[in-house]
């Protein structure tokens, strides 16, 4: 029979010669005391760390229990399922901490039975205060949290914590918070002139300028640039082998399996790298090694120089990934086949490639000919005929003109009310006053007495308005 109570067990100190030597985890099973060694005092100098190491054991001894809480699932996932790549692992851990803050003691069955509660929680997620002003979290960040939740519940089903046929997170939809509209971001790309200016900027350290040259000429990621070793560069055959990704003080495999490839190296880039090799002694074989630490430079320290270059060249949000987006945009502008672009970008799918280097109007040279061919097949007249005025039934013979003694009154009916426009000696003057007000209030739908005069006057006013307009790049006169 399944137990209804949760057995927490206990972490106890094992002493030797009066001093703590190790930590044991103890519990009861079938009426007997059980224990398992967690580790030595050197491995876990604090009891809190030993308690954390005991979480997977608590899950194991409660496998036959009816109730499993979220913190147990998260602890086992962190112990057994985290990816090996350090940057991905840190992202998972960050989102796990956010999840545990809100759901730590909630039963998995409660979460599975109420996916709408999770959806509302995701909708209300906000950024953390230590990362700038608190604001609603972007959809992409929420998607990362949702994806991790989906993976956690997949594992919960595999570990038999839940008896379900369908992952409940599939029912959770992401909606944009009020006032925020998600759309593909148009990045400020790097023009050839800006690229040349960056390489010639004497205030930027030479190692940063060489990194910029590699980024712009190959489109590889900054972690892969920092992970370059001299043995990865084949000067004789003109290619670079991507084998290592450096993030912080960690060296890892590239981001994806398709990223672990070779990329072509133009002779101009080869010359830049060869000159760089002659000028700077190798630091443990790294192309961009830090002589102080013996490891590759940190990306954040290199980013500071790009911020200064971006301010100088008026490129908003210039970052290392801007070069990768620019590389793809330039490939597309050269009408490079999409499959070739995918291989050069080392993406696993063309759908991912198409997300890079987005720019409004980038496909205009492709869409314009098709549009022109379609419009030519339409029977479009060279000039639209003027609207035929309806026959006026007024005694004066004009719209809105009414005899009043020996003079003529101009009037207009507007939303059921009569609007008096003035009294005139001649019916033509009253008719022109009516046309003026009718055109102002009703626009092109107005029935006019002198439509030709009205159109000519409208064109004249438009020309005057354009002449007086201030160009966008000139400040208004003070």
Condensed to tens digits (0 to 9), the pLDDT of residues 401-427 reads 999 888 999 998 888 888 889 999 999
- Whether the per-residue pLDDT at 182 is higher than 60: the answer is no
**d(Cα 111, Cα 100) in Å, to the nearest integer?**
13
- What does the pLDDT read at residue 384? 65
Which residue in 372, 371, 336 sits closest to 353, CA to CA? 336
pLDDT at 4 over 60: no
Q: Name which of 54-68, 124-138, 196-210, 214-228 the model is least confident about.
A: 54-68
For residue range 324-338, what is the model confidence (pLDDT) as tens digits? Answer: 999 988 888 888 888
- 350-371 mean pLDDT: 77
Q: Which residue has the tokens 């003529």?
A: 408
- Sign of torsion over alpha carbons 253, 259, 261, 262: negative
d(CA 284, CA 251): 13
When pLDDT is averaged across residues 247-258 and rounded to a whole number, the result is 79
- Note the pLDDT of residue 348: 81
Average pLDDT (228-248) is: 89
Are the beta carbons of 136 and 122 closer than 8 angstroms?
no
The verdict on pTM exceeding 0.75 is no
User: Are 331 and 342 in contact, with CB atoms under 8 Å apart?
Assistant: no
CATH 1.10.443.10 correct for 192-354: yes
How do 10-16 and 32-40 pair as beta strands? unpaired
Out of 57-61, 146-150, 162-166, 465-469, least confident range: 465-469
Residue 384's φ and ψ, nearest 5 degrees, are -80, 130
Quick one: pLDDT at residue 366?
73
Q: Domain residue spans in the chain?
A: 66-171, 192-354, 401-462
- If one counts every other C-beta atom within 10 angstroms of the C-beta of residue 10, the result is 11
Question: What CATH homologous superfamily does 401-462 map to?
Answer: AP2/ERF domain (3.30.730.10)
To the nearest whole number, what is the mean pLDDT of the chain? 83
Dihedral, CA of residue 280, residue 286, residue 288 and residue 293, to nearest 10: -90
Between CA 444 and CA 332 the distance in angstroms is 44
State the pLDDT at residue 383: 74
In this prediction, residue 388 carries a pLDDT of 59
Average pLDDT over residues 44-53: 91
Model confidence at 470: pLDDT above 60:
no
Query: Which residues, listed in sequence order, are joined to residue 65 by a DSSP beta bridge?
Result: 3
Instruction: Please provide the CATH number assigned to the domain covering 66-171.
Output: 1.10.150.130
- φ, ψ at 469 (rounded to 5°): -70, 145
pLDDT for 332 equals: 86
Please choose, from the candidates 403, 408, 401, 465, the residue with its C-alpha nearest in 3D space to the C-alpha of residue 431: 401
Cα separation of 363 and 385, whole Å?
A: 36
Query: Is the pLDDT confidence value at 297 over 80?
Result: yes
Q: Pull the structure tokens for residue 198.
A: 């960056």
Q: Is the pLDDT of residue 477 over 50?
A: no
């Amino acid at each position: 029979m399944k137990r209804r109570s949760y057995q927490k067990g206990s972490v106890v100190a094992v002493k030797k010669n009066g001093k703590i030597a190790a930590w044991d985890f103890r519990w009861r099973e079938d009426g007997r005391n059980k224990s398992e060694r967690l580790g030595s005092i050197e491995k876990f100098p604090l009891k809190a760390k030993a308690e954390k190491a005991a979480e997977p054991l608590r899950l194991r001894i409660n496998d036959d229990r009816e109730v499993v809480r979220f913190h147990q699932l998260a602890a086992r996932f962190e112990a057994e399922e985290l990816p090996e790549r350090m940057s991905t692992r840190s992202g998972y851990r960050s989102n796990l901490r956010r999840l545990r803050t809100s759901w730590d003691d909630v039963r998995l069955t409660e979460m599975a039975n109420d996916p709408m509660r999770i959806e509302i929680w995701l909708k209300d997620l906000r950024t953390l205060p230590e990362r700038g002003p608190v604001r609603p979290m972007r959809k992409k960040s929420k998607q990362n949290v949702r994806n991790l939740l989906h993976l956690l519940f997949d594992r919960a089903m595999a570990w038999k914590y839940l008896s379900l046929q369908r992952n409940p997170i599939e029912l959770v939809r992401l909606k944009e918070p009020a006032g925020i509209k998600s759309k593909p971001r148009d990045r400020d790309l790097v023009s050839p002139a800006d690229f040349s200016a960056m390489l010639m900027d004497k205030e930027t350290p030479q190692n940063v300028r060489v990194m910029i040259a590699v980024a712009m000429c190959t489109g590889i990621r900054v972690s892969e640039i920092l992970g370059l070793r001299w043995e990865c560069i084949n000067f004789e055959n003109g290619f670079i082998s991507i084998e290592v990704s450096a993030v912080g003080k960690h060296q890892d495999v590239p981001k994806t399996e398709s990223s672990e490839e070779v990329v072509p190296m133009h002779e101009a880039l080869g010359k830049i790298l060869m000159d760089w090799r002659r000028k700077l002694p190798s630091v443990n074989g790294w192309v961009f090694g830090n002589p102080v630490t013996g490891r590759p430079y940190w990306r954040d320290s290199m980013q500071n120089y790009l911020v200064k270059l971006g301010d100088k060249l008026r490129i908003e949000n210039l970052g290392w990934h801007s070069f990768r987006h620019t590389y793809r945009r330039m490939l597309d502008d050269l009408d490079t086949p999409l499959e070739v672009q995918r291989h050069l970008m080392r993406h696993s799918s063309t759908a991912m490639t198409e997300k890079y280097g987005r720019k409004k109007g980038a496909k205009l040279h492709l869409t314009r000919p098709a549009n022109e061919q379609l419009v030519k097949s339409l029977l479009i007249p060279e000039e639209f005929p003027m609207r035929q005025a309806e026959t006026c039934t007024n005694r004066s013979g004009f719209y809105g003109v009414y005899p009043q003694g020996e003079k003529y009154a101009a009037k207009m009916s507007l939303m059921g009310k009569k609007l008096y426009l003035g009294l005139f000696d001649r019916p033509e003057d009253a008719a022109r006053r009516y046309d003026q007000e009718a055109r102002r209030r009703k626009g092109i739908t107005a029935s006019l007495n002198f439509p030709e005069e009205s159109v000519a006057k409208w064109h004249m006013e438009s020309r005057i308005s354009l002449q007086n307009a201030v160009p966008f790049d000139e400040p208004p006169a003070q």
